[in-house]
Structure 1
Amino acid sequence: MKRIYLLLSLLLCSLLCMSQVSTSQNYISTRTYTSPDHSGCREQVVYFDGLGRPSQTVDCGITPDRKDLVSLQEYDDQGRKLRTWLPAKSAGNGNYMTLSSLQSGASSLAGGDVRPYLQTTYEASPLNRPVAQHGAGEAWAEHPVSYQYITRNPRSFPSSYYMTPSGNFLGVCTTDEDGNQAYEFKDGFGRTILAGRMDGPDPCFAYYEYDNHDDLVNVYPPFVTYYQMNEPEGPYQTQSSYSYHYDFLHRCVYKKLPERDAIYYIYDHGDHQVLSQDGEQRVRGEWAFSLSDELNRPVLTGICHNSYYYADFPLCEIDVKARRDDTGTAFHGYILENIPLTNPVVYTVNYYDDYSFIGKHGVPTSLNYVTPPSGYGTCYTESSKGLLTGTVTARLDATGVTGYDYAAFYYDERGRIIQSRATNHMGGIEEEYVAYSFTGDPLKRQHVHTATGYSTQTEVCTYEYDHAGRLLTTKHKLNTNEEVTLVENTYDDLGRIKSSKRHGNSALTTDYTYNVRSWMKTLTTDTLFNQTLHYNDSYGGSRACYNGNISAMSWKAAGDTGVHGYRFSYDEMSRLTAAGYLWNGSPSANYDTSYTYNRQSNLTSLRRNGRTGTSSYGLIDDLTLTLDGNWLTRVDDAATSSAYNNGFEFKDAVKQDNEYTYDKNGNMTKDLNKKITDIQYNCLNSPSKVTFQDDSTITYTYAVNGTKLRTVHTIGDTTSTTDYCGNVIYENGAQKLLLTDAGHITLSDKKYHYYLQDHQGNNRVVVDQTGQKEEVNHYYPFGGTFASAEKSIQPYKYNGKELDTKNGLNWYDYGARYYDVAIGRWNAVDPMAEMYYSWSPYAYCVDSPTNYVDPTGCFSTKFGAWLYKLFNGGDQILKDIGGEYFVSTQVEHSGDEVGATVNRRFDWNGRNTGRNLAVEKQWNAYIADTKFQELCTTHGMEYVRTENQSDAVAGMLQPAMQTIIPVPFIKSGNALINAVRGQKNVTTPVIRFGGNANQVYHTFRHTDALGLDRSLVQSMIRTHFETVSSQVVAGRPFNQVIRISGRNIQYTVFKLSDGTFNIGRIHEVL
């Protein structure tokens, strides 16, 4: 009887969570339980029409007041998606809505807009290609995104000097809502040949070249193609282009990026990239190594001084492994197999499966698991199998490796990190304890920071979520002080953040509003900071923008006597060309700016007005930028006025050629206008030492994962030191700041200070916990601050990044690179440059700083989301509460839910302070790798882990491929590097024509085009190959030519390590 009662109880709990769906309609109901007793769940019901197509999607009880959100999908008479409606609110408990109720409800929730839907128009052909897409909103009824499908010779473009390939190609011309055109041309094999945008009458296209094996070998950016026609012997073809070389297994062994020397790659027999060498390493005779264990998990990285040449394929017949052996000392508990390393220096070590490394190899016993405080997760004894359990991370300064930091990670029974312990460079420990909800959301986190000779800082953060998993409150407690509510959020019916209240103070509440496209319109924080964004509506004479660009904005901060504003102008590539300053909605030239660019989107001129006196304004910068390829070599300033109070402006200190120089990795090594005579860089391409003309220096210490640990400024006879220890900031040996999710705490008095930010996360106003203004910042479009008499109390400004102004440096630290706002350029080549071939790798946010944010210095997130959507699909690009963009896989109604590009939990304003980034980086990389492999298996794809993006990009350009980005890149197996190796003792030739459907397609596509029967081709190749199979050498391509149906057909054979033979490309030869 007890068992019956138990079963009935569970059944009743399940029924409590079940919505009352409409049984008259076909539907699928999906419930995700949010509590272990099944008393809570999130339910989604998808209703299908009579043809089995999804017609309504109901998110049950998803709104803050637990009402339903219902989305409608309409189809045309050909079964194609016609209208995708924005959600309507319903109290139906999962019920199906009538069409009229849903349509009126969607209009009501969209603020009364009569077109709350996205509509697609198709061409009159069986190809079902869209010719227009009208975005949601009545204002977009006459402003669609249109598509024109053309067969055209690109030479027909107006610019006769422009280098284009000969022949006709299939092309798509995409015209955005503002009439800006983008073109992409593909050849008969589906490969992109030409792609780019129009800049007035001139095309700015990137030109792609492939070899006979369909590998991408060259990409010529726009200005390179121009110079090739005008100066075919000029330097830009090699200096500023992308170039790739491959080995016989189609792996990239040579990669040349713009303004950088080539990077070499060496692979072993197991297809692991073992060694790489960039231009600076080549000068020093170094190779970077990356070694895996028997399970192909990364375990060791560092540098060595071996003498190899990449084109000799020195490791192609060797399986290189690092085997765990705690008796080994040289490699922190690993022994290398099949590769001797000359004078190695270890950078990182990863441990898996257990904790036997603690107490050995320099790992302190203080990293052993300790019983957590009450209420936190406990370690599951078997939980570490297959998981990352520890790391060793080198510290780098200008002299090289100066020591190591160690970390250990402990997991619960569900594989979640519940405790981490790590050493820091201040001689202490960073402890972290986490408690999770049933759904995996962190409920409580305790972080304990210790450093030798300093006070222990203990933080406890408590998180509360609503029934839909949206973050409601973040509470913070420091040491024994009273707990405070850092942030309290509310949400609207569409899941967008509606308000954020800080420190429980109503005066510190920011309210948000949005337009029909869910683009942020206003944010208002009492009288402290208010901002309004204009898109398709004019303000101050601005030209309306329908493509998402901000046409104008206005703002007012505490102490202002009027309303500031900017109206923006863009060219046809959406590059910012002018920002006209507005005062109280009327034009005022006080802070006007204007910009021009070359074909590669490098800034070539910049004019900037500003404050020149107590009440006077004028031209403070009139810059002409001279370039060599993408390298900036000289800047001349024709302005005669200077900024007030030594404010922000460009300082033109010299007048000569080569004011800027660069190393072989494209890093800037000299800036004479800042009186910098030398900049040294480490292996991360981050500056390690900056030397000025007066012998002043700035030195940096980093963890090898890129985390900045220390900055030392030696200016004249004064030395100042800043240490970054987790989220605790030390100044000259004193604990100064503790960074929080909403601002910082001054450790001298334990007072909270809050950052009021604009739509981009720029810190506009700093207030104390009572709401008193402490700092105000006004920004030019590219990030410079208006000259002011206001004092600065903290260094985090534009995009929330740290600004270093000492000795006139004026650089923002974005993590991956440093940004010079005076000239709108980075100090180094973008590590993600291959994601946007048509732009300069030094340009900031594709020259549209008002619309994009670059969170790390690697790429602008909205652009990255656009690329993801381009290659992977998705319905729309949305912005989460942290200000970061993602791709939604449905008509999403909230920021951070299932369906996003990546599941991630942001702090309230997107800051990553207070988080153990080293732990997250290691853990997320490992989990992502595992999940991507699972995804590949699910979709019948082959998993290829590649460190070079060129290989991935080449894969993305192939036809009939499924591609998932970002890193780790995965491409389906059109290469032979993952052919089957499982069979042993093969005594007769086993011949394969590709390992999966995609490989088979690429193997036969040329003979298919000739009309040759596949079975005939297979039979004749098999018969012929049996007579020559003994001549094939493992690891080397073997080419043969035979006659088939009167044609000379060449086939390529690879002998694999298991003795099987794989037939690669088959094609006709003359």
Structure 2
Amino acid sequence: MVPFPVADATGIYSGEKNYTEKILENSPLERVLQQKPIGNDWNGKAVVLGYDLNTAADHVKNYQVTVSWDPTEKLYKNELQYTPAEYAAGKLVKNTVTDEDGHKVVEFKDATGQTVLSRKVIDAVKNANTYYVYNDYKQLAYVIPPLASAAALNSSAVDNTCYQYKYDSKNRLVEKKLPGKGWEYMVYDRQNRLVASQDAVLGSTQNNFAAKGWMFSKYDEFGRVVYTGFFANTASRIDIQTTINTMSVNPGNNEKRNNTTPIIQNDESIYYTKNAFPTEGMTILSVNYYDAYPPLPSGITTPVSIMDKPVLKQPGQSTASVTTKSLLLASYIRNVEDNAWTKTFNYYDEKGRTIGSYAQNHLGGYTRTELDIDFAGVTIQSKAYHKRLASDPEKVITQTFTYDHQNRLLVHKHQVDTNPEEILVQNEYNELSQLKNKKLGGTTLSQPLQNINYTYNIRGWLTKINDPSHLNGKLFGYEMRYFNPLNPNIAPGRFTGNVTEIDWKNASEDVLKRYNYAYDGLGRLLDAVYSEPNATAPFNNNYNEHLTYDLNGNIKTLKRNAFPASGSTTSVQVDDLIYNYTGNRLTKVTENALNDTGYEGGNNTISYDLNGNMKDMLDKGIQSIQYNHLNLSNGYSMQQTNGLGQLLNSTMSYLYRADGTKLRKTYSSTPPRGSTTTRITDYLDGFQYSYTEGGGICLECKTESAYEQQAYRSASFVFPGTPIPEWKLDFVATAEGFYSFTENRYIYQYRDHLGNARVTFAKSSTGAPEIIDTNNYYPFGLNHISGPFSTSGFGSFYSYKYNGKELQETGMYDYGARMLMPDLGRWGAMDAMSEKYSAWSPYNYAVNNPVMVIDPDGNDVINTGAGMTATGADAQFAFKAYVATMSTSTESSGGNIFTGFGGTLGEDPKPGFWGRVSNWWDRLFGRNKGADILTLTRGAEVSRAVEVGEPIRIAEFFSAIEVTSVAVGAATLGAVLTPVMMKDPEYNWARDLPLTVPITTTADESEPEFEYFYRAMSYNEYSKAGGYLTQRLNDSGIEMGEGPYVTRRLEYAQKASFSFGYSDQYDIIVQYTVPSGTYEMFKKISLPARGTTMRQSEQLGLPIKKREDGDYNFSFYGRNTAIFNSTIIGLPQIISIKK
């Protein structure tokens, strides 16, 4: 504890500047002109914000849309004019953010506040311009990305490169087309809930259902999704919409529980009615049961207690007022490629917290979990009981966790069955709660296998993992430099957090290696220059890469160095690739290096399905790729020639659950001579099994070496004459690697800041650590091609490498939602989140900055926060970087451009952008186990952060609000509080408060000046529809407005000058958007709420707000803890608020 932190700053921080500065505009607006970071090295490196009007020199195109009503399709048709004029000077508001490296992002808004252009300056002559085009009703009609806006538009260019949207008379999005993808259609019920959707593949018969149809969702009266599936029907969107609009039976379109006459599908009972649309032609894929458990399958019972804690009873089983009402109790998910189900049952304690589960897998086995949690919900011990088949012996995994007084994890122990308990990790933290030291492995605290040190700079950015220059018995060292590279002439320093130099060394090679990284104005990686600093000739360029891009971020060219397959001791350029595109689709790769090493080349054409998924890759010998309705690749047919010119045939198929979880991979290979080898891998709740049958693995197959036979050696071989094949439990994942059942030992991994497995080691027979695998990567994940080879080990823990993802026999990495091609640096399928990053190609990987950005599951990127994973100390950096672009003024608080990190990452500032920022931050802080105590003060500096607990979902409550939301810790256990900074004038008081938001799970008042919030009840779907309130409205015949129509704001309202005098209380606002036609009815609704005083907006000094579309935002308020206990809200309960 520092007694006088300001007075002693010079001595404590060794002369560093330990504070930030804001230079404000000398006007009543007090807009921020400069934000100066901490650290002496950032002197003269402020973030500069500019406020102006457009000039003629800005050359902003004024795209126009002709809108007309289509009475047949009942939607507004938009027609884009291809030859736009330019906005006259002074017609647009122009806001500019210049980051610490001088890179600019400029946003132009029209008089209504809608963003029309986001301009990212690449260099002195080139910009990346993303235009947002609206129709006469202020609806977003087109998004024109940089590649399209820089060229002449026509219908083909619009279809290939632009985003297109159509709306119905209720302002609901009913049709959209993403670039390079077919049209998608949406259908809603009278409660404005999305009930059916169809993409281009489902609109054909070329899908896994072999029929044209729709994906559907059904809801109960509380708006909770009860079951989903596929509806086989050839009807058009408007036909289905008309059918739903005119339903006289069950007009509310709700389903109810039915335990007596269930729906029967493939011998599976679904305990719901089928009265909502659709009623026939259904293939049900998932089912949710709330409030009470369904009739249980044979052999499954609901436990009375778990780890000596009573299990919460169902309604009718107890006289207590607290029951399982509103909780999700069971979830059934069917497989996509067959008819088997996974059935999961959840168990809660009397505070509504999850303390156990039972998941019966599709093979008949199970994984049963038990949690021992303390008062704050922190896990003290967990147990997992697992069987693949019901007849298999049971495996038991026991984990125990020890924390300090701040709930920071100190010791994590792991035990398999009755084996000796392993100490996976011991953590030590510095005064800023940054991880300072981590000890891995061992059975005694004093004798770990490895002792890992972490070092940070004044900004909190990770700079070292051990010391690569002096390993001193350690197996791996890693150093990152940002603004201070040792080779600035190759790659100049960056002050925005981009890594410009990395040194590393592993003990098996004992060679200090270095990459220098150069970027363009968008933060895209241009050059990775390899060297070995201690060598006689350091700059050998052995593993260089050089890339160029088009305006959308599609890679245009890639040059790569490596050691050729011929065995030469001199590296050469093995790849000189030219990428050819139609829009964003890669159609051909031309290889000019004429070298068998590296990418194969072949100049073959690549084809795509209607959803933009790559259907083949003949350059790699992949003859065909099949996809299921989730756009997950589930079948490969491959044909290649080996080094002897002989033909090799192989196939690979995947089995998925309907929620996208991979369950099985089957790989078969037929060599020129010998029998076919079939290898099956099962993935079950972190346990991985293998089964191999047939002849020997083909040593010449390219698929066995990930198309880079020089990059890997095989971990094991299976030859003809192997004993009778059997299923084998290979390993289970742990927090620091794996436990290998085949080797009966723990496997540990050194990972870098991106999660890449660098060194894999285990305890040898002598008790010393031994390295069993090493990996050195090119930036986009391809393993270095040459010598000491890393191990491919398909189907084993060896194959988990780049970003911690599993390397496939195709040479691609499986991220979950998509497959990454590391040799090409791009995905083979469309980005499901492409609308969020409309300025980028939907096939780019990590916004072309793989040194700093990761994509954890193939769905969305996460900036690692200047070299840190998304937990602990990186939350501090990430939040500071976010706040650096924020203003404290009323006018600009919601309108500044979020440039992300170095102006290269973040959502495009399209309408509603600021209202969606909270989701991004919730995902960032909720990624890993435990999110930190984050104390925010006005000025938005994070002063400390401590990891506690596991993620919970809460961001949905804020995602639809048009506000600037800083959702810190809101997605984590023990933290259900979000300060909200409003941009609307009536909410100005929110920014005038000291936003001090402590979040803790300690039972004592260690800091009595703070309020303490304790989570008592986990998130549940009941809250998403407003519960009792929505039911009352539906019963009254009120049709709700555009969805999602329910939003909730948890506000810090201390000192708010409300007329009724609740000046020192916390209030909850429940906001609904209602159509103008039902506004008067809405005002008359009476809402009892079990002791909660509900007040209309006018009574609180916050008036009902009329929206631009004619609808109204209408709010109800309630005080303190009572609102959390209300059936209306269903939000996590607060046990107590201390002050």
Task: Report if TM-score (shorter chain) is over 0.5.
Answer: yes
Amino acid at match of 1:777: N
Aligned to 1:510: 452
CA contact (8 A) 2:1041 2:1111 kept: no
The verdict on how the C-alpha distance between 1:651 and 1:122 changes in structure 2, with shifts beyond 3 A counting, is: same
Question: 1:198 offset after TM fit, Å?
Answer: 1.4
The verdict on how the C-alpha distance between 1:239 and 1:395 changes in structure 2, with shifts beyond 3 A counting, is: same
CA contact (8 A) 2:926 2:972 kept: no
Aligned to 1:80: none
Question: 1:975 offset after TM fit, Å?
Answer: 6.7
Aligned to 1:715: 669
CA separation in 2, counterparts of 1:932 and 1:779?
Answer: 47
Of the candidates 496, 505, 519, which is equivalent to residue 461 of structure 2? 519
Question: 1:129 offset after TM fit, Å?
Answer: 1.3
* 1:594 matches 2:546: yes
CA separation in 2, counterparts of 1:1005 and 1:165?
Answer: 33
Residues 249-305 of structure 1: CA distance to partner in whole angstroms, max 9, x if unpaired?
111111211211121010011111110001100003110000100111110100012
Secondary structure at the aligned position of 1:669 is classed as: coil
CA separation in 1, counterparts of 2:1078 and 2:503?
Answer: 56
* 1:306 matches 2:238: no
Tell me the TM-score normalized by structure 1. Answer: 0.73
* 1:629 matches 2:583: yes
CA contact (8 A) 2:158 2:179 kept: no
Of the candidates 316, 319, 333, which is equivalent to residue 245 of structure 2? 316
CA separation in 2, counterparts of 1:338 and 1:876?
Answer: 36
Of the candidates 524, 542, 552, which is equivalent to residue 501 of structure 2? 552
Percent identity, aligned pairs only, is 28
Question: 1:136 offset after TM fit, Å?
Answer: 1.2
The 10-residue stretch of structure 1 (328-337 or 260-269) with the greater mean CA deviation from structure 2: 328-337
- Give unpaired runs (5+ residues) of structure 2: 63-81, 206-211, 265-269, 315-321, 640-647, 671-675, 692-726, 865-869, 871-877, 879-899, 901-905, 950-966, 975-1015, 1031-1038, 1049-1069, 1087-1096, 1113-1139
The 10-residue stretch of structure 1 (427-436 or 553-562) with the greater mean CA deviation from structure 2: 553-562
Question: 1:370 offset after TM fit, Å?
Answer: 2.9
The 10-residue stretch of structure 1 (507-516 or 707-716) with the greater mean CA deviation from structure 2: 507-516
* 1:606 matches 2:606: no
Residues 124-177 of structure 1: CA distance to partner in whole angstroms, max 9, x if unpaired?
222221111111111112101111112114763499999775233101111111
1:31-110 equivalent positions in 2, closer than 5 A: 67=1, 89-90=2-3, 101-108=4-11
Amino acid at match of 1:116: N
Of the candidates 328, 333, 346, which is equivalent to residue 393 of structure 1? 333
* 1:402 matches 2:361: no
* 1:767 matches 2:719: no
The verdict on how the C-alpha distance between 1:828 and 1:516 changes in structure 2, with shifts beyond 3 A counting, is: same
Aligned to 1:491: 429
Aligned to 1:689: 635
CA separation in 2, counterparts of 1:943 and 1:366?
Answer: 44
CA contact (8 A) 1:291 1:299 kept: yes
Amino acid at match of 1:632: L
The verdict on how the C-alpha distance between 1:776 and 1:338 changes in structure 2, with shifts beyond 3 A counting, is: closer
Aligned to 2:216: 289
Aligned to 2:298: 365
Aligned to 2:1064: none
The verdict on how the C-alpha distance between 1:394 and 1:931 changes in structure 2, with shifts beyond 3 A counting, is: closer
Residues 1026-1052 of structure 1: CA distance to partner in whole angstroms, max 9, x if unpaired?
xxxxxxxxxxxxxxxxxxxxxxxxxxx
Secondary structure at the aligned position of 1:835 is classed as: coil
Secondary structure at the aligned position of 2:192 is classed as: coil
CA contact (8 A) 2:925 2:971 kept: no
* 1:725 matches 2:692: no
Amino acid at match of 1:588: N
The verdict on how the C-alpha distance between 1:324 and 1:799 changes in structure 2, with shifts beyond 3 A counting, is: same
Of the candidates 533, 536, 556, which is equivalent to residue 480 of structure 2? 533
* 1:797 matches 2:790: no
Question: 1:871 offset after TM fit, Å?
Answer: 2.2
The 10-residue stretch of structure 1 (577-586 or 759-768) with the greater mean CA deviation from structure 2: 577-586
1:598-677 equivalent positions in 2, closer than 5 A: 598-612=550-564, 613=567, 615-643=569-597, 649-652=598-601, 654-656=602-604, 659-677=605-623
Amino acid at match of 1:783: G
The verdict on how the C-alpha distance between 1:428 and 1:342 changes in structure 2, with shifts beyond 3 A counting, is: same
Question: 1:330 offset after TM fit, Å?
Answer: 2.2
CA contact (8 A) 2:259 2:272 kept: yes
Residues 699-755 of structure 1: CA distance to partner in whole angstroms, max 9, x if unpaired?
000111111100000111111100001111111021111111111111124211101
CA contact (8 A) 1:245 1:254 kept: yes
Aligned to 1:131: 33
Aligned to 1:840: 841
Tell me the matched-pair count: 841
The verdict on how the C-alpha distance between 1:112 and 1:642 changes in structure 2, with shifts beyond 3 A counting, is: farther
Question: 1:555 offset after TM fit, Å?
Answer: 0.6
CA contact (8 A) 1:159 1:202 kept: no
Of the candidates 927, 936, 939, which is equivalent to residue 1020 of structure 2? 927
Aligned to 1:471: 409
CA contact (8 A) 1:621 1:638 kept: yes
CA separation in 1, counterparts of 2:685 and 2:436?
Answer: 31
Question: 1:213 offset after TM fit, Å?
Answer: 2.2
* 1:197 matches 2:127: no
CA separation in 2, counterparts of 1:675 and 1:163?
Answer: 45
* 1:175 matches 2:98: yes
CA contact (8 A) 2:757 2:803 kept: yes
Amino acid at match of 1:190: G
Greater percentage in strand = 1
Question: 1:692 offset after TM fit, Å?
Answer: 1.6
CA separation in 1, counterparts of 2:161 and 2:930?
Answer: 31
Secondary structure at the aligned position of 1:279 is classed as: coil
The verdict on how the C-alpha distance between 1:419 and 1:450 changes in structure 2, with shifts beyond 3 A counting, is: same
Greater percentage in helix = 1
* 1:444 matches 2:381: yes
The verdict on how the C-alpha distance between 1:706 and 1:775 changes in structure 2, with shifts beyond 3 A counting, is: same
Secondary structure at the aligned position of 2:203 is classed as: helix
Question: 1:326 offset after TM fit, Å?
Answer: 1.2
Aligned to 1:187: 110
Of the candidates 10, 18, 24, which is equivalent to residue 122 of structure 1? 24
* 1:812 matches 2:813: yes
CA separation in 2, counterparts of 1:576 and 1:851?
Answer: 10
CA separation in 2, counterparts of 1:759 and 1:623?
Answer: 29
* 1:500 matches 2:438: yes
Aligned alpha-carbon RMSD (Å): 3.6
Amino acid at match of 1:297: R
- Give unpaired runs (5+ residues) of structure 1: 1-66, 68-88, 91-100, 644-648, 907-922, 953-969, 987-991, 1007-1070
Residues 575-616 of structure 1: CA distance to partner in whole angstroms, max 9, x if unpaired?
000011121274331111110000111001001111223632
CA separation in 1, counterparts of 2:577 and 2:368?
Answer: 50
Tell me the TM-score normalized by structure 2. Answer: 0.69
The verdict on how the C-alpha distance between 1:508 and 1:780 changes in structure 2, with shifts beyond 3 A counting, is: same
CA contact (8 A) 1:973 1:996 kept: no
Residues 519-541 of structure 1: CA distance to partner in whole angstroms, max 9, x if unpaired?
10101175211111101112223
The verdict on how the C-alpha distance between 1:522 and 1:926 changes in structure 2, with shifts beyond 3 A counting, is: same
Residues 533-575 of structure 1: CA distance to partner in whole angstroms, max 9, x if unpaired?
1011122233110011111111111222321111111000010
Aligned to 1:582: 531
* 1:334 matches 2:272: yes
The verdict on how the C-alpha distance between 1:149 and 1:310 changes in structure 2, with shifts beyond 3 A counting, is: same
Bigger RCO of structures 1 and 2 (CA < 8 A, at least 6 apart): 2
CA separation in 1, counterparts of 2:618 and 2:747?
Answer: 38
The verdict on how the C-alpha distance between 1:736 and 1:985 changes in structure 2, with shifts beyond 3 A counting, is: closer
